[in-house]
Amino acid sequence: MDAASPLKKQKLPPFDLNAADASLTRPEAPRVDIPATNPSTDGPIADVSPTEPEPLIAGMTSALPDGPAQSSPNPSPPENTPRPLMILRSGIPPGLSPRAQRAWEHYRKLGSPWRIVAPMVDQSELPFRMLCRKHGADAAYTPMLHSRLFVDSERYRKEHFTTCPEDRPLFVQFCANNPDTLVEAARYVEPYCDYIDLNLGCPQAIAKRGNYGSFLMDDLPLVRSIVSALSAASSVPVACKIRMFPSIDDTIAYARMLEEAGCQLLAVHGRTRDQKSARLTADWHVIKAVREAVSIPVLANGNIRNLSDVRACMAFTGADGVLSADTLLEDPAMFGREIDPPAEISGRVSEALDVPQPGTWHALPLMTPPDVIDVTIEYLEMVKKYPVPMRMVKGHMFKLLGGWFRVHTDLRDGLNQQQPATVDYIINMCKEMAQRNAADPLLRPLPDPRRQTPPEGKTMKKIIEAAVEKAGEAIDPPAGKGAKTASEYREQRLQLGKVAVRA
């Protein structure tokens, strides 16, 4: 199959998890050139008849409330919760059911990935995945794929799913609300991935309109039927990415139901579907409770801002790996800034560990690493090798270079006005930015004030003033470009900040 040809449906033999390295020895597939445009549909994914209200699942206390959810309290796990498994970096935990043992065998054959690129619409595309892999990521998710459109439209498949032989281990994520449609969609991608993932966590309005993502939490019998059908039909293991219920007990019951239905890997986002902001601290206590309640590998998602957070999260929750999204968009090399794998740890660690308080608000720090321009050029070279639509590329530029664009506003405006922008144009822009920074060592990237949580009585302007003042205190010698004193330099930076706010 050449790079331009569409994927063909394939009826594959059952996937033998006991065969040596079965997941790693499938015939290598050539790259399929099909990056993405945003899915857009006003109707549901498929015609799913509403079901009559019925008990959710055994052990579940309540359905989701209509209003905003509050962060759950952290009671002791129910009496029937198993004692935590020993979390090892190799080997198979003892005392497992045959299904759970197969789940662990597959995860171990993949190398026990623990630094994982999370699914991001228009942002976890092939060149970005390959960049993150180059800098330490062990595995990656595709952007969410719309199962019905993926089945119905060859053009959609070509635009939304791009991979290459080196893009492994790979999770291909679908949203779905119809078992048959998801099974059919999975057939297209089975030869090119290591997990088929069901999106049960998207909290956005489009997911509500389409009846998928976290809004399937209102119809758990349907969720069970989807996971069971995919598990029975797919030649690769099924994974699920979920959000938590307001109740910790309901979340545990939900996770167990998914495992019983055939899920072989569970990614848990420690926020409810009403907690959409990354500034609202995720609840690691819930992830820990889920990890102790199920027998399959568990990945944690939430509050990951640096590699220290990765280690703290794994130590506290006992999770087998961690997903990162927003942080990697600003620092794709984050996973590679330390290379030693985590030591073998127990599922229970000291409660004195410094754990973010769930339900609290925090400012997102400016993440502009000193090598960000070099990393950005690396990404652009990846785009040359694995072409994707320019809207994806430009989206990455504003994440990667946002702090510097608030300094070099003319470069930002030039990129916005360039129609169409080309990869070579952006590479030259990055080189110009690097030359300016080298000529003026006092220049510093500016934070995005919209990402800050202002203390009571503080305005956005005051936040910028404080950030600029702090940056100015570190100036030595006290002269910026065209400025004779440190105060003049701070005023220059402040004016740039005001321009950024108005923009």
Residue 177's alpha-carbon distances to 172, 219, 273, in angstroms, are 16, 10, 17
User: pLDDT at position 7, please?
Assistant: 44
Active site residues: 202
Give the number of other Cβ atoms within 10 Å of residue 40's Cβ: 8
Query: In terms of pLDDT, which residue wins out, 115 or 78?
Result: 115
Is residue 60, in this structure, part of any structural domain at all?
Answer: no
In whole angstroms, give the CA distance from residue 37 to residue 57.
Answer: 37
Q: Are 463 and 289 in contact (CB under 8 A)?
A: no
How large is the average pLDDT for residues 420-444?
Answer: 94
Residue 62 has pLDDT above 70, yes or no: no
In this predicted model, what pLDDT tens digit does every residue of 43-52 receive, in sequence order? 334 333 333 3
Is residue 262, in this structure, part of any structural domain at all?
Answer: yes
Residue 221 has pLDDT above 60, yes or no: yes
Q: Which residues pair with residue 199 across a beta bridge?
A: 241
Flag the least confident range among 50-54, 272-276, 419-423, 457-461: 50-54
User: pLDDT at position 465, please?
Assistant: 59
Q: Which residues pair with residue 300 across a beta bridge?
A: 268, 322
Give the orientation angle of helix 390-400 with respect to helix 372-385, to 10 degrees.
Answer: 170
How large is the average pLDDT for residues 224-241?
Answer: 97
User: pLDDT at position 359, please?
Assistant: 60
Residue 340 has pLDDT above 80, yes or no: no
Is residue 13, in this structure, part of any structural domain at all?
Answer: no
Residue 395 contacts by C-beta under 8 Å, 6 or more apart in sequence?
A: 122, 123
Residue 19 contacts by C-beta under 8 Å, 6 or more apart in sequence?
A: none
How large is the average pLDDT for residues 322-339?
Answer: 88
21: left (phi over 0), alpha (psi -120 to 50) or beta: left
Residue 56 has pLDDT above 50, yes or no: no
Q: Are strands 145-146 and 238-243 parallel, antiparallel or unpaired?
A: unpaired
Same domain, 80 and 139: yes
Residue 163 has pLDDT above 60, yes or no: yes
Same domain, 293 and 427: no
User: pLDDT at position 306, please?
Assistant: 85
Residue 298's alpha-carbon distances to 86, 104, 291, 293, 354, in angstroms, are 13, 11, 6, 10, 21
In whole angstroms, give the CA distance from residue 16 to residue 23.
Answer: 9
Query: In terms of pLDDT, which residue wins out, 37 or 167?
Result: 167
Residue 395 has pLDDT above 80, yes or no: yes
User: pLDDT at position 462, please?
Assistant: 57
Three-state secondary-structure class, residue 282: coil
Residue 407 has pLDDT above 60, yes or no: yes
Q: At 494, is the pLDDT very low, low, confident or very high (cuts 50, 70, 90)? A: low
User: pLDDT at position 487, please?
Assistant: 53
Residue 17 has pLDDT above 60, yes or no: no
Q: Are 440 and 480 in contact (CB under 8 A)?
A: yes
Domain boundary among 389, 420, 439: 439
Residue 243 has pLDDT above 50, yes or no: yes
Tokens of 81: 């919760």
Same domain, 184 and 256: yes
Tell me: cis bond preceding 203? Omega within 30 of 0 counts.
no
Domain boundary among 419, 439, 459: 439
User: pLDDT at position 94, please?
Assistant: 87
In whole angstroms, give the CA distance from residue 101 to residue 17.
Answer: 10
Query: In terms of pLDDT, which residue wins out, 449 or 121?
Result: 121
Same domain, 193 and 305: yes
Q: Are 277 and 235 in contact (CB under 8 A)?
A: no
For the chain, what percentages of helix, strand and coil (3-state, to nearest 5) are there? 40, 10, 50
In whole angstroms, give the CA distance from residue 314 to residue 287.
Answer: 10
Same domain, 402 and 461: no
Three-state secondary-structure class, residue 100: helix
User: pLDDT at position 469, please?
Assistant: 56
Is residue 352, in this structure, part of any structural domain at all?
Answer: no
Is residue 155, in this structure, part of any structural domain at all?
Answer: yes
Query: In terms of pLDDT, which residue wins out, 354 or 21?
Result: 354
497: left (phi over 0), alpha (psi -120 to 50) or beta: alpha
Give the whole-number percent of the chain exceeding pLDDT 70. 65
Flag the least confident range among 387-401, 465-479, 481-495: 465-479
Q: At 356, is the pLDDT very low, low, confident or very high (cuts 50, 70, 90)? A: low
Is residue 311, in this structure, part of any structural domain at all?
Answer: yes
Same domain, 281 and 406: no
In whole angstroms, give the CA distance from residue 254 to residue 434.
Answer: 50
In this predicted model, what pLDDT tens digit does every residue of 249-275 receive, in sequence order? 999 999 999 999 999 999 999 999 888
- CB-count exposure of residue 43 (10 Å: 0-12, 13-18, 19+): exposed
Total domains in the chain come to: 3
Same domain, 274 and 392: no
In whole angstroms, give the CA distance from residue 428 to residue 194.
Answer: 37
Domain of 129, in residue numbers: 22-46+73-337
Is residue 59, in this structure, part of any structural domain at all?
Answer: no
Same domain, 276 and 407: no
Question: The domain that contains 231 carries what CATH number?
Answer: 3.20.20.70
CA atoms lying within 13 Å on the CB side of residue 131: 30
Same domain, 180 and 226: yes
Same domain, 432 and 462: no
Same domain, 194 and 100: yes
Three-state secondary-structure class, residue 6: coil
Q: At 419, is the pLDDT very low, low, confident or very high (cuts 50, 70, 90)? A: confident
Query: In terms of pLDDT, which residue wins out, 475 or 109?
Result: 109
Is residue 428, in this structure, part of any structural domain at all?
Answer: yes
Residue type, 21: D
In whole angstroms, give the CA distance from residue 45 to residue 42.
Answer: 9
Same domain, 163 and 105: yes
Helix or strand run (H / E) with residue 117: strand 115-117
Query: In terms of pLDDT, which residue wins out, 24 or 444?
Result: 444
Domain boundary among 420, 439, 458: 439
Give DSSP secondary structure letters for 298-350.
EEEES---SHHHHHHHHHHH--SEEEESHHHHH-TTGGGG--PPPPPB-S---
In this predicted model, what pLDDT tens digit does every residue of 103-143 receive, in sequence order? 999 999 999 999 999 999 999 999 999 999 999 999 999 99
Residue 155 sits at the vertex; the CA angle it makes with 151 and 160, to the nearest 5 degrees, is 80
User: Residue 188 carries which DSSP code?
Assistant: H
pTM of the model: 0.74
User: pLDDT at position 337, please?
Assistant: 79
In whole angstroms, give the CA distance from residue 193 to residue 172.
Answer: 6
Flag the least confident range among 10-19, 110-119, 147-156, 470-479: 10-19
